[in-house]
């Protein structure tokens, strides 16, 4: 099989079909792996379904298997033009794990102890505003609206724009950071690039908050703290940029404060 030919075809189709660069990258990578695995066949349509099933079952987790199936289904549908090729292969149920969070007071105390203004501002944006790491590193100076006390998040996950609230302390921290570091265009410049890296963001969380934590837990902790403060679930949904309210509602299951208020029947 000419793997390069099929891979290039799918790469073009995938970029036309899906808006999210993350989806494009993940699907294309998965299809390349699939084509390499079955390179001994002359054409993708000749690969037996039973062999595809065996390849799917090699995945270490249910979610990885589901991701593989989504990518291959996309490949056969939009590039091979065989939408029914794997319709008989069932999608596995997703693993439903509760999000982990960091205790609010512990997190606040840890953040206040950070002396490096750049690192402090980055971690605060994750917790105070609930930003994803990609949203922090792609944040531009012009996105900070101090008059309206908001941050404009542009072209986020799913290529959607949204607005998040800027607290007085967050604004003060960003101003102090700006005066000291004088960033250009992007709020956080890397040592050798215009944009700070996601890897560095995770490293500073581990350095200042704890080795067992990573950046996305700041977003989870933000959502839970907002919920415990009495903010309406639909408002939290909008601030986080969730398409479905069910994604936001899961934070109600991990809030110790909310659970502690429940009166048991006996």
Q: Give 100's Cβ-side CA count (13 Å radius).
A: 7
**Is 175 an annotated catalytic residue?**
no
State how far Cα 84 lies from the chain centre.
Answer: 31
**Is 132 an annotated catalytic residue?**
yes
**Is 162 an annotated catalytic residue?**
no
31, 15, 25, 17: which is closest to 70 by C-alpha?
A: 31
Spot the catalytic one: 118, 219, 220, 222: 219
Do β-strands 150-153 and 162-165 pair in parallel, antiparallel, or remain unpaired?
A: antiparallel
Spot the catalytic one: 17, 32, 53, 216: 216
**Is 253 an annotated catalytic residue?**
no
Spot the catalytic one: 67, 154, 157, 214: 157
Task: Supply 181's token pair.
Answer: 């570091």
Contact 126, 219 (CB under 8 A): yes
Cα distance between residue 67 and residue 31, in whole Å: 11
Spot the catalytic one: 120, 132, 220, 222: 132
Cα distance between residue 178 and residue 183, in whole Å: 6
**Is 219 an annotated catalytic residue?**
yes
Among the residues of the chain, which ranges form H helices? 3-17, 21-37, 49-57, 62-78, 104-112, 117-128, 133-137, 168-181, 198-208, 216-228, 233-240, 245-249, 256-260
Task: Using the CB atoms, write b or e for 91-103: b if 16+ within 10 Å.
Answer: ebeeeeeebebbe
Transcribe 45-59 into DSSP letters.
GGS-HHHHHHHHHTS
Active-site amino acid positions: 132, 157, 216, 219, 242, 251
């Amino acid at each position: 099989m000419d793997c390069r030919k099929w891979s290039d075809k799918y790469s073009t189709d995938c970029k036309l079909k899906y808006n999210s660069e993350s989806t494009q990258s993940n699907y294309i990578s998965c299809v390349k792996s699939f084509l390499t695995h079955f390179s001994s066949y002359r054409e993708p349509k000749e690969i037996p379904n039973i062999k595809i099933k065996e390849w799917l079952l090699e995945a270490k987790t249910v979610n990885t298997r589901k991701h593989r199936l989504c990518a291959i289904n996309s490949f056969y549908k939009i590039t091979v033009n065989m939408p029914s090729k794997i319709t008989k292969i069932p999608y596995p149920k997703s693993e439903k794990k509760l999000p982990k969070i960091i205790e609010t007071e512990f997190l606040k105390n840890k953040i206040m102890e950070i002396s490096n203004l750049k690192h402090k501002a980055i971690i605060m944006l994750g917790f105070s505003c609930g930003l994803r790491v990609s949203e922090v590193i792609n944040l531009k100076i012009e996105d900070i609206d101090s008059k309206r006390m908001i941050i404009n998040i542009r072209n986020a996950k799913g290529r959607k724009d949204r607005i998040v609230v800027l607290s007085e302390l967050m604004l003060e921290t960003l101003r102090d950071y700006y005066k000291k570091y004088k960033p250009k265009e992007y709020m956080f410049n890397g040592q050798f690039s215009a944009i700070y890296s996601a890897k560095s963001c995770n490293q500073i969380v581990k350095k200042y908050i704890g080795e067992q934590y990573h950046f996305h837990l700041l977003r989870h902790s933000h959502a839970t703290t907002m919920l415990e403060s009495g903010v309406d679930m639909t408002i939290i949904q909008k601030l986080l940029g969730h398409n479905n309210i069910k994604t936001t509602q899961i934070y109600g299951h991990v809030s110790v404060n909310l659970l502690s208020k429940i009166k048991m029947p006996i």
